[in-house]
A = this chain, B = another copy of it.
């Protein structure tokens, strides 16, 4: 399992400013929320957390969608599609651009990061066959070690 090192808030802000994405109080709170867990979260979940926080301030669901979309464009968040109905978002490592993959436990619903380096050989294989600019989406489902025990 890969240990996912959370980027620092300052590094994230720097990347935002670099890309002319403004740092607002709402966006800071969204980022806090993303930093607070390694679990990918839906826009609704983020909203719920913000509302429960000490200083909720004002933040609309729409703002969350728009911010996440911006964050995704500048590559600081990753969108995934575990729950079939709604997209989930989590922070990307800033340094290595390898996005990570997840494992969703059917029992405890926990989401666990998975080291995906074994896919590299498959990607090389596709390259050899003439495919180019390959990206991918990989998600696992099943029962996690804790629940299996």
A129 touches which of B87, B138, B141, B145 (Cβ 8 Å):
B145
Q: Are A133 and B145 in contact (CB under 8 A)?
A: no
Once bound together, how far apart are the Cα atoms of A118 and B87, in whole Å?
Answer: 27
Residue of B nearest to A139 (CB): B137
Q: Are A141 and B149 in contact (CB under 8 A)?
A: no
Once bound together, how far apart are the Cα atoms of A81 and B84, in whole Å?
Answer: 8
A48 at the interface (CB under 8 A from B): no
Closest CB-CB distance, A42 to chain B, in whole Å?
14
Known interface pairs A135-B140, A137-B139; A145-B130 also in contact (CB < 8 Å): yes
Once bound together, how far apart are the Cα atoms of A140 and B140, in whole Å?
Answer: 15
Chain A, 111-133, contact with B by CB distance < 8 Å: what is the 0/1 string? 00010101101100110011111
Closest CB-CB distance, A74 to chain B, in whole Å?
18
Give 12 A-B pairs besides A81-B84, A130-B149, A135-B140 with Cβ atoms closer than 8 angstroms: A1-B129, A84-B87, A103-B134, A119-B119, A126-B142, A130-B144, A131-B143, A131-B148, A133-B142, A134-B142, A136-B140, A138-B139
6 closest Cβ contacts across the A-B interface? A130-B145, A134-B142, A118-B122, A132-B143, A132-B148, A133-B142
